[in-house]
Amino acid sequence: MPQDNLPFTPPVPPPAAGWTIMICINRRLRSDLASCAARSSEDLAKAIEAEVQARGLDIRVERTVCMGRCDFGPTVRVAPGGAFHLGLAPDDVGRFLDDLELKLSLKKETNKINELPPPGT
């Protein structure tokens, strides 16, 4: 069956360095200008970090400075090469990570090798 006729989107293979969720926490010096930090991006970053850790996802979370989308933030991007996700709120984190988990196959492998008895026992 050709890839474009599949009833689902297959997971994207991970880049060699792994995936990174980048969250802009930039605050502009002039308070009359829009910025991600002014739109609570630090609360969003905390929520994403906590949920990634709670789910045990194999993805880095990085707080970063301006990605040039100040008027539409908070700005989140999955690197390398992912789309911009604009205007996310902490309440959106579960749905956002559900989508990433499915598309990027982010679950860490569970492995019980350290719980096995030594060979020959």
Pairing state between β 84-86 and 60-64: unpaired
What is the number of structural domains in the chain? 1
Q: Looking at the domain assignment, is residue 60 inside a domain?
A: yes
Mention every residue, 6+ apart, whose C-beta is less than 8 A from residue 58. Answer: 14, 18, 19, 106, 107, 108
15 upstream amide cis, omega within 30 of 0: no
- Report pTM: 0.76
Assign residue 61 the CATH number of its domain: 3.40.30.10
Q: Distance between CA 34 and CA 98 in Å, rounded?
A: 29
**Residue 1 domain-assigned (yes or no):** no
Can you read off the two tokens belonging to residue 37? 């930090």
Q: Is residue 121 part of a domain?
A: no
pLDDT < 70 positions in the chain: 1-12, 16, 107-116, 121
Domain that holds residue 91: 18-109
User: For position 102, what pLDDT does the model report?
Assistant: 83
CA distance 109 to 14: 14
Which pLDDT value is given to residue 1? 42
